[in-house]
Amino acid sequence: MQSPDPGSSDRSTAAEPPRPGITALTGSVLSQEAAGLLPLVDAAVLEELEDELAGSGLAQRFARDYAAMWDQRCARLAAAVHSQDSESALDAAISLKISSAMVGGVRLAKLAELLETLIRQGDFGQGQVLMARVAQDGVQTVSELQSTYILKNG
């Protein structure tokens, strides 16, 4: 067995042990920053949905319904996170993630995924912090969806 090089040091033994709360918070903040780099709406997703539905107008209707339901969907999610209702919060976060992805709301879908992770970890404190970002980006997503797709194709 070789002895360690005297010039090197194993810093892991001298370092403070990892603190899960701090690491999760830092990871969450970094993930939010990464999500912020994503576009609000990816038009290619809606174009693909239109193609899959053979131009039947269902993609347009889905986008309109998504926009119309935003306030209700956001309120339901915020209430569940605030009351720390894991089951309802998880259901609402997953619903938001999937529907946002389907309508091309890639940034909001990513934020909903991050929120889903926090809910699964039982971190409702950070979930409430993230809800402010979800609400803000949700309003911006609906606005962009309306101006670039719904009104344009309506």
Domain range holding 94? 40-153
pLDDT in tens, 65-113: 999 999 999 999 999 999 999 999 999 999 999 999 999 999 999 999 9
Give the CATH number for residue 90. Answer: 1.20.120
Does a structural domain hold residue 28? no
Mean pLDDT of the chain: 83
DSSP string, 36-69: HTS-S--HHHHHHHHHHTTT-SHHHHHHHHHHHH
Overall number of domains in the chain: 1
Question: 95: Cβ–Cβ under 8 A, 6 or more apart, which residues?
Answer: 73
pLDDT in tens, 17-35: 333 333 344 455 557 777 7
Does a structural domain hold residue 12? no
User: What is the pTM assigned to this prediction?
Assistant: 0.78
Does a structural domain hold residue 20? no
Does a structural domain hold residue 33? no
Does a structural domain hold residue 146? yes
